[in-house]
């Protein structure tokens, strides 16, 4: 168990002067607090600075605490941030302070396996004499401590690695790069049933077991705690460092994989991503203001502004339903995203849209979209609770009766292409971190040759593209002629310039969309008429008014 007391880092001079009774006190502290042991007694070999004390980096202290409070951990990391040394130290701590420990380390190859074991040996050799214990067998794969019947075994990731070893701790080092990862994983799970299993790696694309375990952990679908450690946790890695390192890199995308700032950066494919990384780097990411349970607001509603929205529906679980709202300048003003189910998303998305004046909205109609469309267009929500229907002329439709957007291969490529152009030209501004992550990880799958989210999903990207597409028809303003009954305005598939209409009429509802409450039969409840009449006369002649 890790104690919550703050560990003091003693100087080497102080440690050398400890009296025998202080030795016992320190050993007792180290037995219950591995971070105290690491920060005061562990030395590492730095390629530039030489033999140095372990540096007190906050992310490593957090990692140590997480390791001791969870039996399943998966760590996605940047390069050179101390993780390999910290787990070598933890392996040695278990062997030193937990009798009868069997620590199994499986690395991507023989060279990596030897390096891990060498780190453990280096740490032990550089301990004060009174802190170390006797070593038995010490070779390329085994590091033994006979006095407390513990050992560290370090193997290359072969087909039989770790199969017959009962382990208290298993460390899968550079897991994403292990050739027989699936075979090894199947073999070692029974051996560590009651112990710890720790997977550590930089990313290696998405077609491997490490990615699959990470994705499930991120969605809460397995018992692993996912920990992402970005490149700039290491002191000194500021923008100046980043720019210099990028100039020397083989390619920008490879550099981002090795030194990711986001999970999407880490899992992005080696090929250039679909959206401009330079443009995405300029996005003004911020926390936003929470709205209800699943939404964030970045710009408050402005009655003089014109908004558009896009909804990519999903049933929940692994797929998120997403709503994006944009203003006329392409600013991301609000986002609703949840995996909690369609009824919860539908209610909150509706409320958020109402808050922004019921903007013109495109709802993708495949699958669950039909349910959302029906709910929006009726006078009850998906749970049967009454509410005012969404204005019909504010929903995208291809005919009077065909509401919703049907995605095809052609129009999907079209709206994504327009989004890419808008992002590159600074015509779309994103504030939501998850949106940026999905945009960064979006590209052409080298196996299927399809545009898709190469890390996780692309629900947020599609929703944003639909919101941008909705701007072409953005709540088609009502002409004075239409109000006077002289003309009928078609609300679908039109590109409308603000100068063509009276600005005071922007954002107003269609005056001929009938909101009269009617009862079609004696045993029917009251409901909104909802007919889009073409003129005042047609509205006066509607059957409900007879």
- The 3-class secondary structure across 278-289, one letter per residue, is HHHHCCCCCCCE
Q: Give the pLDDT of residue 507.
A: 38
Q: Backbone dihedral region of 386: left (phi > 0), alpha (psi from -120 to 50 degrees) or beta?
A: beta
- Of all helices (H) and strands (E), which one includes residue 291? strand 289-291
Architecture of the domain defined by 12-229: 3-Layer(aba) Sandwich (3.40)
Q: Give the pLDDT of residue 274.
A: 87
Tokens of 425: 């030209």
Answer CATH for 277-473 from 3.40.50.150, 3.40.50.800, 3.30.420.240, 3.40.50.720: 3.30.420.240
Q: Give the pLDDT of residue 456.
A: 59
What lies within 8 Å, CB to CB, of 188 at 6+ separation is 104, 106, 162, 163, 167, 170, 197
Q: Give the pLDDT of residue 411.
A: 87
pLDDT tens string, the chain, 546 residues long: the values are: 444 445 678 888 888 778 888 889 999 999 999 999 999 999 999 988 999 999 899 999 999 999 989 999 999 999 999 999 999 999 999 999 999 999 999 999 999 999 999 999 999 999 999 998 889 999 888 999 999 999 999 999 988 786 767 889 999 999 999 988 999 999 899 888 889 999 999 998 777 899 889 989 988 899 999 999 999 999 999 888 988 888 888 777 678 788 888 887 787 654 557 898 888 888 999 989 999 899 999 999 998 888 999 999 988 766 789 999 999 999 999 999 998 888 889 999 999 999 998 999 999 988 788 889 988 988 878 777 888 888 887 888 876 678 889 888 888 899 999 999 999 999 999 999 889 888 887 888 777 778 887 655 788 999 999 999 998 766 444 444 444 443 434 433 333 333 333 333 333 344 445 556 666 566 666 665 656 555 556 666 766 544
Angle at 458 between CA 457 and CA 461, to 5 degrees: 155
Query: 22: helix, coil or strand?
Result: helix
The DSSP code for 56 is: -
Q: Give the pLDDT of residue 509.
A: 42
Tokens of 234: 């290491």
Q: Give the pLDDT of residue 474.
A: 62
pTM above 0.75, yes or no: no
Q: Give the pLDDT of residue 492.
A: 37
What are the domain boundaries of the chain?
12-229, 239-267, 277-473
What lies within 8 Å, CB to CB, of 158 at 6+ separation is 180
Q: Taking Cα atoms as reference points, which of 367, 356, 363 lies closest to residue 333? A: 356
Cα 362 to Cα 16: distance, rounded to the nearest angstrom = 71
| Side-by-side strand order, sheet with 169-173 | 142-145, 150-156, 102-107, 169-173, 196-201, 72-77, 225-229
- Of all helices (H) and strands (E), which one includes residue 98? none
Neighbours of 425 (CB within 10 A): 11
What lies within 8 Å, CB to CB, of 240 at 6+ separation is none
Sign, CA torsion 202/204/205/207: negative
Q: Give the pLDDT of residue 502.
A: 39
Cα 122 to Cα 119: distance, rounded to the nearest angstrom = 5
Q: Give the pLDDT of residue 398.
A: 75
């Amino acid at each position: 168990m890790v104690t919550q007391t703050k560990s003091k880092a003693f100087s080497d001079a102080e440690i050398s002067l400890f009296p025998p009774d202080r030795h016992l006190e320190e050993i007792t502290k180290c037995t219950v607090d591995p971070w105290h042991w690491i920060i005061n007694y562990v030395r590492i070999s730095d390629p530039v600075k030489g033999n140095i004390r372990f540096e007190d980096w906050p992310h490593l202290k957090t990692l140590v605490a997480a390791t001791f409070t969870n039996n399943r951990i998966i760590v996605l990391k940047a390069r050179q941030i101390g993780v390999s040394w910290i787990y070598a130290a933890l392996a040695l701590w278990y062997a030193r302070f937990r009798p009868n420990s069997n620590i199994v380390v499986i690395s991507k190859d023989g060279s990596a396996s030897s390096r891990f074991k060498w780190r453990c040996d280096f740490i032990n050799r550089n301990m004060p004499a009174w802190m170390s214990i006797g070593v038995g067998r010490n070779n390329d794969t085994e590091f033994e401590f006979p006095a407390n019947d513990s050992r560290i075994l370090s193997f290359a990731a072969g087909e039989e690695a770790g199969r017959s070893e009962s382990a208290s701790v298993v460390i899968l080092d550079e897991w994403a790069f292990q050739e027989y990862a699936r075979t090894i994983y199947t073999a070692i799970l029974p051996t560590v049933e009651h112990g710890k299993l720790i997977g550590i790696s930089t990313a290696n694309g998405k077609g491997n077991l490490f990615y699959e375990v990470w994705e499930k952990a991120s969605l809460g679908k397995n018992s692993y705690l996912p920990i992402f450690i970005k490149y700039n946790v290491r002191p000194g890695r500021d923008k100046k460092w980043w720019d210099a390192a990028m100039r020397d890199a083989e390619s920008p995308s490879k550099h981002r994989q090795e030194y990711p700032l986001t999970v999407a950066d880490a899992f992005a494919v080696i090929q250039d991503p679909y959206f401009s990384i330079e443009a995405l780097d300029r996005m003004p990411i911020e926390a936003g203001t929470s709205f209800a349970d699943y939404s964030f607001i970045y710009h408050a509603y402005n009655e003089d502004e014109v908004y558009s929205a896009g909804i990519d529906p999903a049933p929940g679980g692994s797929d998120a339903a997403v709503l994006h709202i944009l203003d006329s300048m392409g600013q991301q003003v609000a986002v609703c995203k949840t995996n909690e189910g369609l009824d919860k998303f539908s209610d909150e998305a509706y409320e958020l849209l109402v808050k922004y004046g019921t903007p013109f909205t495109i709802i993708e109609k495949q699958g669950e979209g039909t349910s959302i469309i029906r709910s929006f267009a009726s006078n009850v929500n998906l749970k049967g609770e009454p509410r005012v229907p969404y204005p019909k002329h504010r929903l995208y439709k291809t005919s009077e009766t065909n509401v919703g957007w049907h995605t095809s291969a052609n129009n999907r490529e079209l709206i994504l292409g327009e989004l890419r152009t808008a992002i590159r030209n600074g015509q779309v501004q994103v504030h939501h971190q998850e949106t940026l992550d999905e945009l960064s990880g979006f590209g052409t799958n080298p196996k299927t040759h399809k545009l898709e989210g190469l890390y996780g999903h692309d629900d947020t990207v599609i929703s944003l593209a639909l919101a941008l597409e909705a701007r072409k028809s953005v709540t088609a303003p009502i002409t004075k002629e239409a109000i006077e009954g002289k003309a009928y305005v078609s609300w679908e598939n039109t590109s409308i310039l603000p100068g063509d209409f009276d600005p005071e009429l922007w954002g107003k509802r269609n005056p001929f969309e009938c909101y009269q409450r009617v009862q079609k039969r004696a045993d029917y409840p009251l409901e909104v008429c909802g007919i889009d009449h073409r003129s005042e006369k047609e509205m006066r002649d509607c059957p409900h008014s007879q």
